[in-house]
Amino acid sequence: MTMMVSPYPAFTLTSTGCASMPFTAGVSSDARNPCSCRVYFAANQQTFTSRSMALNSASAVTSWAFLCFANASARAFSLRVRGNRDSLSCMTTKNPFPGLNPFFEQQWRDAHTSLILYLRDALQERLPADLVARAEEEEVVAIGAGGSATTYRPDVQVREPRTVKEPGATDAAASPPETPATEPIRVFVEAEIERWLEIRDDTGRLITAIEVLSPSNKLELLERDRYLRKRRTLLSGGANLVELDLVRQGTWVFPQPIRNVLERAGAWGGVCVIRAARPGEQEVYPIRLRERLPAIGVPLRSSDRDIVLDLQRLIDQCHERGRYHLLNYRLALEPPLAPEDAAWVNQILREHRLL
C-alpha cells in the first residue's frame, strides 16, 4: 500500500495493487459541480481521471479502480479517498438566505462599515451632479465598570499618553512612608466609531441622512436616548431621514405607531423613511426573516426623483466580500427564533452545507 499527499490537506489518498509502479495523485473540485470532486493521478507519463464523486455527507469515502496501460500490459490501481467535503469549498460563499442572514450580528462592526460604504457607492452613481454622498463618523467612548457599559461622547481627546515616573529604590528609601492609595474602581473604556451617511448639495446643506442602526442604539439606554436626540435634530433641521434597522437584538427606536405597523406585519426589522416635506407621513418597509429585503426609495430635494436602493443586492455583497459563510452557524441566535423559524434556518444551513 502506498500513501500519497493530496493537494487538499483534509484528504488522504491510498493506493492498493501494483505498488511498484510510481505515480502521483491528487484531488480536485469538479468544475461542473462545486459539491463534488475528481481524483486524478499520473503514471508512466499518462494522466488518468476518475469519475465525479458527489460529496453528500460530512465525510466522503469512496474507491475507484483504474486500468493503467504500460508496455502493452494492463495494470490495475485502486484509489481510496477519505476526507471532509468542506476542504473542497463545496459550501456556498453566497448569502444562503433569501433576505438578511440572521447570523450577521456576529460580525456587526464589519458588516455595518461595509454596508455604509456600499450604500454610499450605490448612491453616488445616481445622484444629481450637484449632490454628493459622504460617509460620516465620530468617536464614541463606552465607559463601564464590570460588565455594564454606558456610552458618553468625549469633549477632549488625549492624543499622547501621560507617563508617570515610578519612584526608584533610592527615592523610596529616602522618603517617608506615604498613605496607601485607595483601591480604585476598575473602569473599562472602549472606543467605538459611529458611522452614517449624509447627502449634501454643493453649498454644504444637508439634504438626506441615512442611519444604519447598531445594537448599541437598541440595547443601551443612554445611547438610545442620544440617538433619539440626534433624530429630532435632523428632522427639525429640515432634512430627510432614512433609518435602517437590520438588528434583531434590543427594542425598537421607531415611534410607537411605526412599531405597531411593523409588529402587525410580523417583521423583526424595518426601514423608515421620513420626508422633510411630509414629516407626518412616514414610509415603512417591513423586514421579515424569510423574505427578500426591500428596494427602498431615498428622497432628495422636492425637485429630484427618489433614488431606489436594492438593499438585498448590497447585503449579498456584504456577505460574499466579507466571507460570512465562515461565521459560526452553530452559535445560538439572540434573541432565539420561534421553533418553526429555527427549523427553517437549520434546513437552509444544511442545504448549503454550512452546518
pLDDT higher than 90, residue 3: no
Q: Which of 2-16, 159-173, 258-272, 318-332 has the lowest mean pLDDT?
A: 2-16
DSSP 3-state of 211: strand
**In the chain, where the domains are located:** 2-88, 104-152+187-344
CA distance 310 to 271: 12
Which single residue is written with the C-alpha cell 422633510? 276
Q: Which residues contact 143 (CB under 8 A, 6 or more apart)?
A: 149, 150, 151, 152, 187, 188, 189, 190
CA distance 156 to 95: 42
pLDDT higher than 50, residue 104: yes
pLDDT in tens, 185-233: 766 555 567 788 999 999 999 999 999 999 989 998 888 998 999 999 9
Which residues are bridge partners to 65 per DSSP? 78
- Residue 23: what residue type? F
* Span 45-60, average pLDDT: 43
* Span 34-47, average pLDDT: 49
Task: Please report the pLDDT score of residue 121 as a whole number.
Answer: 95
Q: Which residues contact 298 (CB under 8 A, 6 or more apart)?
A: 123, 199, 208, 210, 240, 242, 273, 306, 307, 308, 309
CA atoms within 13 A on the CB side of 149: 18
CA atoms within 13 A on the CB side of 200: 10
pLDDT in tens, 266-322: 999 999 999 999 999 999 999 999 999 999 999 999 999 999 999 999 999 999 999
Task: Please report the pLDDT score of residue 182 as a whole number.
Answer: 80
pLDDT higher than 80, residue 140: no
E strand or H helix at 234, and its extent? Answer: helix 221-236
DSSP 3-state of 337: coil
pLDDT band at 96; cut points 50, 70, 90: very high
Q: How far is CA 97 from CA 89, 103, 223, in A?
A: 18, 10, 31
Vertex 225, ends 136 and 147: CA angle to 5°?
Answer: 95
Which residues are bridge partners to 198 per DSSP? 134, 209
Which residues are bridge partners to 68 per DSSP? 75
Here the cell at position 328 is: 459560526
DSSP states of 27-45:
EEEETTEEEEEEEEEEETT
DSSP H helices in 153-220: 169-174, 215-219
Higher-pLDDT residue of 12 and 326 is: 326
Q: How far is CA 20 from CA 33, 48, 66, 252, in A?
A: 34, 17, 15, 71
Spell out the long-range contacts of 19-25 with Cβ–Cβ below 8 A and sequence spacing 24 or more: 21/68, 21/70, 21/75, 21/77, 23/68, 23/77, 25/79
pLDDT in tens, 114-131: 999 999 999 999 999 999
- The pTM score is 0.65
CA distance 115 to 306: 20
Which single residue is written with the C-alpha cell 452614517? 196
